[in-house]
């Protein structure tokens, strides 16, 4: 049976009827239980900070969170092996800006229980818990044009009215279950990776995998972490891989206070440094193109990058890695050889080497002994590209090559990324236009923050903004500060409504696609790409993120602010 995670809004639990659609503003005569200046959806790292800053700025703000506690992604993702692939001391934005000066990370890449403790400590330090309602989900948000207010309906049947609606729902929060026939007939235990049963505290429930036959579907960053962990105890572990990814070593290690100070130095100076790097990770790209180095120099650089912890191999190599195919192939060939040297069975090694996408055009999973797991007798790679999964049966998974008997199935199948969580809320702007319909052809936004026709509605770390392809702990925080600045600016001038001008929105949307098209990312699928079919059947890819660089994005936002928020219609 599939573990019954909390129903997603718009996605009813299996076997139930359609979700109730919130009434329209005209038909909904319910009195709001609350009227506030602003509603923030989500109590993850971004939402907490937004709620805090708005409150500090004098706004009456209410936060809404579906989970029973703060933490967002770190609340929901509590599978064994779940940890950051960003340096903890760079992700910890609240420490960098002085809100939690004494916070000490225990590892270079913190694990989920520590991250959840961090989010809780941050919420307490900011005193925002009391501003939140937990355990309720936003079902709908309708803009009432005559009142210039949003009516926000919750799944406990209550209504909140607000002037400003800020979504901090997270780009990777709407779970994506595959549609495989028979999933509900499985007699063992099964769940999505981000709905892992809880231990009731900070971490995952202890499931004893000893003696169990476990199937993991999916080999993205999540699957790679889970597989390495479950491989330690499961009697038999079957990895159903449809597409291999380029994975490189995480290189985690404990952090002492002294080591942390050494790595980070003065927090505020470190933050200024992060702000200048393309994605707010503590890495500088080489000023060289790969062609400007000799073969020997390239090998030496790749070896040192492969040996160093974290994303250096992705973010601090040759500057044309994601722009030039030859440059990319140099690194891809090097990493492929590493995989061959770590996996004993050459047939398995070849299956683990990506053949259909360049290095780094999808998120690079950071691994710890991932490849070595395939040398263990209890672990089998099932090639779900060669023999696709046909069905889940009562006893296991059937592929084109036969049936695999299982006791547990883990769906590490990812998320309906970036727009998915918004699609699951019935958001309606001017004239009752549904956001989902407005964005049917892909999102259109100005600076990834607002969309014309949806006044006073903000999408933090949302589609097309420069905080999604970034160290979110830092870039999300900077975005929150910018939006708070805008709302304070408006308040000081008695303005009460802001939405983008259509031509600015069109130009920004075109720029998002243009920047993406310049890179090697444009030829591949990744969670940040929305694919659909053109009327002639050809494939259409829409980038959901802005890849033109976080500093460039922020300097444009700052320029817009300096020019009295040029491109926004503010009344």
d(CA 190, CA 565): 49
Instruction: Select from 61, 110, 217, 352 the one that contacts ligand NA7 (CB under 6 A).
Output: 217
**160 or 417: CB nearest ligand NA7:** 417
Which helix (H) or strand (E) element contains residue 74? Answer: helix 73-76
d(CA 6, CA 21): 18
Q: Residue 159: which residues within 8 A CB-CB, separation 6 or more?
A: 28, 30, 31, 32, 33, 151, 152, 153
396 sits near ligand NA7 (criterion: CB under 6 A): no
DSSP alpha helix (H) spans, 245-355? 257-264, 267-276, 295-307, 312-315, 325-342, 346-352
384 sits near ligand NA7 (criterion: CB under 6 A): yes
Binding mask 292-311 for ligand NA7 (x = CB under 6 A): --------------------
d(CA 2, CA 191): 6
Instruction: Identify residues 151-180 at the interface with ligand NA7 (CB under 6 A).
Output: 172, 178
72 sits near ligand NA7 (criterion: CB under 6 A): no
**100 or 409: CB nearest ligand NA7:** 409
First to last CA, the chain: 53
Binding mask 514-553 for ligand NA7 (x = CB under 6 A): -------------x--------------------------
404 sits near ligand NA7 (criterion: CB under 6 A): no
Strand order in 389-392's β-sheet? Answer: 389-392, 396-399, 402-405
Binding mask 412-441 for ligand NA7 (x = CB under 6 A): xxx---------------------------
- Per the structure block, which two tokens stand in for 29? 């005569």
Contact stretch for ligand NA7 (CB under 6 A) within 200-208, 343-351, 411-419, 532-540: 411-419
Contact stretch for ligand NA7 (CB under 6 A) within 12-20, 218-226, 248-256, 562-570: 218-226
Do 22 and 153 meet the contact criterion of CB atoms below 8 Å apart? yes
C-alpha distances in Å from residue 329, one per residue of 293, 326, 333, 336: 14, 5, 6, 10
Q: Residue 258: which residues within 8 A CB-CB, separation 6 or more?
A: none
- Per the structure block, which two tokens stand in for 274? 């992060």
**258 or 531: CB nearest ligand NA7:** 531
389 sits near ligand NA7 (criterion: CB under 6 A): yes
Q: What are the phi and psi torsion angles at 2 (to 5°)? A: -90, 130
Contact stretch for ligand NA7 (CB under 6 A) within 393-401, 406-414, 429-437, 550-558: 406-414
**92 or 455: CB nearest ligand NA7:** 92
Place of tokens 């909904």: 28
Do 66 and 73 meet the contact criterion of CB atoms below 8 Å apart? no
**336 or 486: CB nearest ligand NA7:** 336
240 sits near ligand NA7 (criterion: CB under 6 A): yes
**493 or 540: CB nearest ligand NA7:** 540
Contact stretch for ligand NA7 (CB under 6 A) within 111-119, 407-415, 530-538, 541-549: 407-415
Instruction: Identify residues 355-374 at the interface with ligand NA7 (CB under 6 A).
Output: 363
> What are the residues binding ligand NA7 (CB under 6 A)?
172, 178, 217-223, 240, 242-243, 363, 384, 389, 412-414, 527
């Amino acid at each position: 049976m599939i573990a019954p995670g909390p129903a997603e809004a718009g996605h009813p639990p299996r076997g139930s009827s359609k979700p109730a659609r919130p009434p329209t503003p005209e038909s909904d005569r319910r009195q709001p239980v609350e009227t506030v200046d602003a509603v923030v959806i989500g109590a993850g790292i971004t939402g907490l900070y937004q709620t805090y800053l708005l409150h500090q700025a004098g706004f009456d703000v209410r936060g809404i969170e579906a989970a029973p506690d703060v933490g967002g992604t770190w609340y929901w993702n509590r599978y064994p092996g779940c940890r950051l692939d960003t340096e903890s001391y760079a992700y910890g934005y609240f420490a960098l800006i002085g809100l939690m000066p004494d916070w000490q990370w225990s590892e270079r890449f913190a694990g989920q229980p520590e991250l959840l403790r961090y989010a809780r400590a941050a919420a307490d330090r900011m005193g925002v818990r009391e501003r939140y309602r937990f355990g309720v989900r936003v079902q709908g948000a309708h803009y009432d044009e005559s009142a210039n207010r949003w009516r926000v309906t919750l799944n406990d049947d209550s209504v909140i009215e607000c002037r400003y609606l800020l979504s901090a729902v997270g780009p990777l929060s709407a779970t994506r279950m595959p549609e495989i026939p028979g999933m509900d007939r499985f007699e063992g235990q099964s769940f999505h990776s981000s709905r892992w049963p809880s231990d009731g505290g900070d971490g995952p429930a202890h499931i004893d995998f000893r003696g169990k036959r476990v199937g993991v579907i999916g080999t993205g960053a999540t699957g790679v972490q889970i597989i390495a962990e479950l491989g330690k105890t499961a009697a038999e572990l079957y990895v159903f891989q449809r597409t291999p990814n380029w994975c490189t070593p995480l290189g985690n290690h404990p952090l002492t206070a002294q080591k942390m100070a050494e790595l980070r130095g003065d927090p505020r100076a470190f933050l200024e440094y992060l702000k200048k790097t393309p994605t707010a990770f503590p890495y500088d790209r080489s000023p060289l193109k790969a062609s400007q180095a000799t073969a020997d120099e390239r090998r030496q650089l790749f070896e040192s990058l492969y040996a160093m912890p974290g994303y250096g191999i992705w973010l601090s190599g040759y500057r044309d890695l994601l722009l030039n195919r030859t440059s990319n192939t140099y690194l891809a060939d090097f990493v492929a050889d590493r995989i061959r040297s770590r996996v004993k069975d050459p047939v398995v090694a070849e299956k683990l080497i990506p053949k259909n996408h360049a290095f780094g055009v999808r998120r690079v999973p950071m691994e710890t002994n991932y490849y070595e797991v395939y040398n263990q007798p209890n672990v089998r790679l099932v090639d779900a590209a060669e023999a696709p999964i046909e069905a889940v049966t009562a006893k296991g998974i059937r592929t084109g090559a036969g049936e695999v008997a299982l006791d547990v199935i883990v769906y590490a199948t990812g998320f309906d990324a970036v727009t998915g969580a918004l699609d699951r809320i019935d958001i309606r702007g001017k004239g009752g236009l549904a956001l989902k319909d407005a964005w049917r052809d892909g999102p259109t936004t100005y600076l990834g923050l607002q969309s014309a026709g949806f006044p006073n509605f903000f999408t933090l770390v949302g589609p097309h903004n420069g905080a999604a392809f970034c160290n979110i702990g830092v870039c999300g925080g900077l975005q929150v500060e910018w939006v708070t600045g805008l709302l304070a600016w408006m308040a000081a001038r008695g303005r009460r409504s802001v939405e983008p001008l259509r031509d600015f929105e069109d130009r920004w949307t075109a720029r998002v696609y243009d920047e993406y098209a310049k890179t090697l990312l444009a030829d591949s699928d990744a969670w940040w790409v929305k694919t659909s079919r053109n009327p002639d059947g050809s494939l259409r890819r829409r980038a959901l993120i802005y890849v033109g660089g976080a500093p460039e994005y922020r300097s444009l936002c700052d320029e817009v602010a300096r020019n009295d928020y040029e491109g926004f219609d503010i009344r």
